[in-house]
Structure 1
Amino acid sequence: MKRRNFMATAAAVSLGAVTYRASAQHTEAGKDFKLKNNINHSVCHWCFNYMPLEDFLKILNELGIKAIDLVGPKDWPLLKKYDIHCSMCNGAEISLTEGWNDPKYHETLIKNYTEIIPQVAEAGYTNLICFSGNRRGMNDYVGLQNCVDGLSQIIPLAEKHGVVIQMELFNQVNHPDYMCDSSLWGVELCKHLGSDNFKLLFDVYHMQIQEGDIIRSIQNYHPYFGHYHTAGVPGRHEIDETQELYYPAIMQAILDTGFKGYVAQEFIVTWEDKIAALKDAFKRCDV
């Protein structure tokens, strides 16, 4: 399921009913729940937006989870209220399909990122997401150079403010025609930009579908990976025994590289008790 479609569908759920269900089911979400926290855990809010953000933040506090992904500036005051860090900010991008590989979007993107980069820093956050955009018949080498031309105009500002721009990798099954669909293409972009303030968001789910060999990619290219997302393959559901990836080994590989950033859960829940599914995922990744 595509992230943008799921978010639109989930937004249509009745707010009142959801709030009641959340408060009734998860009053003691953190009871007997302890983590080693060798991994810095986070979670993507869109996967749990069946409940209001504030209710979800309360649950994260109960669980001792200190970060959340993919939240924009308008909700940062709410995160501050609950002392939850925004481990991956959004709000500057146009869309997944309209990105830095097409010069016609550069003016808008440069304006957006120029405005939001200082806001990210002022809020005390570090990571800001971006997307390559779709090919639409464009050669990958041309698209890469277009990304370099555009991103190089905002990287100095990111460096000044200590903000890391992170481009997410996607697969071609869920996001056909997306250009940044391989570790090698993304790494090449990082090399061309030559800045520690540009990295890749390595989505394990997407890259298992697209190229596999996840642990080897982590070992070989980890200096270019600034953030990780999880989900089960196939289906983008829970990371339990119903899917093919063994996340404890993947997390250990990440830990072995010396990674100090965040790993965010980004799976679509099928369990009736959705917070129990989230707790299970955190436990499996808590090596």
Structure 2
Amino acid sequence: MTPKQPAHADVSRRDVSRRDALLALGAVAVTASSLPLGAASPGVVRAGRLNQSVARWCFSRTPINDLCASARSMGLMGIDLLGETEWAVPKQYGLQCTMGNSFGAIPVGFNRLDQHDKLVADGEAMIPRAAAAGVQKIVVFSGNRGGMSDGEGIANCITGLSRLMPTAEQHGVVLCMEMLNSKVDHKEYHADHTAWAIEVAKGVNSPSFRLLYDIYHMQVMEGDVIATIKANLPWIAHFHTAGVPGRNEIDGGQELNYRGIAEFTAGTGYRGVVAHEFLPRREGMKSLREAVEVCTV
């Protein structure tokens, strides 16, 4: 199914143009204050067909300025999962913040109706600030089941996230729900299968809501990675990488063929970001450089 534009009776021509642009870029927004995701900053050489980034928290012992300098030298386009205090740092190195940290939390998310007012208020405050800083995507979470059925969780997420879509669309920001495994790392997490998250995306039905497909987490839960990406790519705005098992390097010591996944994804014409979110067992920058080489296709 191809995502449709939301039908708002009072949409202006400018709003329609903004949504058309979001859809055309695979749900990657463009704002006047930043380069489009995928565009090379002056002096930064990008190799291959995929836009690569790195998750800040995996290299938390490395000062942010050092991480940005290393990322630039490797041809990465940005830093993923930054808090608001660090949003502006990548710009100093010709990079972008490719995903902002959430205004919510993993265990308590949009599947709880009693959380919606706070999440919507926090989101409506953060989204304009993110747009002004050139942060075009923000991660969001479903929350944990806590005995809730899949159907109720889906319906509740649709209800809460839909309240934020007018603000997100207005500012050209995409909220990306991350799928996480509930088998090893995040017990009870509700968005633990692609099919569940796709139902949320279909229900929200806005170019300002898409999915963050974490390859590590979905390999743990369901496997069949390339076929799943192929079937659902219109709903996916972002990828994360890590090796299985262990969430470490994406080299030959783990079960996923990241070279093959990268080749397939690049071949689809995907224009979003592939962000490395693994926990290095060896020297961090060496492992990151090796990951970049694996995904340079």
Looking at structure 1, the residues matched to 174 and 206 of structure 2 have their Cα atoms a distance apart, in angstroms, of: 9
Runs of 4+ deviating beyond 6 Å: none
The normalised TM-score by structure 1 is: 0.85
Opposite residue 219 of structure 1, the aligned amino acid is K
Q: Name 1:181's counterpart in structure 2.
A: 192
Indicate the SS of the match to 1:222: helix
Q: Does 1:119 align with 2:138?
A: no
Q: Deviations over 1:202-245 (max 9, x none)?
A: 00000001000000001000001110000000000001110000
Question: For the Cα contact (< 8 Å) 1:35–1:286, is it kept in 2?
Answer: no
Compute the displacement of 1:35 (Å): 5.6
Which of 70, 77, 83 in structure 1 is aligned with 2:94?
83
Question: For the Cα contact (< 8 Å) 2:80–2:97, is it kept in 1?
Answer: yes
Q: Name 2:36's counterpart in structure 1.
A: none
- Which structure 2 residues correspond to residues 99-178 of structure 1 after superposition, within 5 A? 99-173=109-183, 174-178=185-189
Distance 1:54 1:113, change over 3 A: same
Distance 1:228 1:143, change over 3 A: same
Opposite residue 154 of structure 2, the aligned amino acid is L
Looking at structure 2, the residues matched to 162 and 228 of structure 1 have their Cα atoms a distance apart, in angstroms, of: 20
Cα RMSD, aligned residues only: 1.2
Looking at structure 1, the residues matched to 270 and 106 of structure 2 have their Cα atoms a distance apart, in angstroms, of: 26
- Which structure 2 residues correspond to residues 182-221 of structure 1 after superposition, within 5 A? 182-221=193-232
Q: Name 2:78's counterpart in structure 1.
A: 67
Question: For the Cα contact (< 8 Å) 1:73–1:91, is it kept in 2?
Answer: no
The normalised TM-score by structure 2 is: 0.83
- The unaligned stretches of length 5 or more in structure 2 are 1-44
Q: Does 1:231 align with 2:224?
A: no
- Give the fraction of aligned pairs with identical amino acids, expressed as a percent: 40
Compute the displacement of 1:256 (Å): 2.1
Compute the displacement of 1:62 (Å): 2.3
Indicate the SS of the match to 1:191: helix
Higher relative contact order (CA 8 A, sep 6+): 2
Indicate the SS of the match to 2:126: helix
Q: Deviations over 1:36-92 (max 9, x none)?
A: 231001000111111211221121222232211000221122222222201111141
Looking at structure 1, the residues matched to 235 and 215 of structure 2 have their Cα atoms a distance apart, in angstroms, of: 14
- The unaligned stretches of length 5 or more in structure 1 are 1-33
Number of residue pairs matched? 252
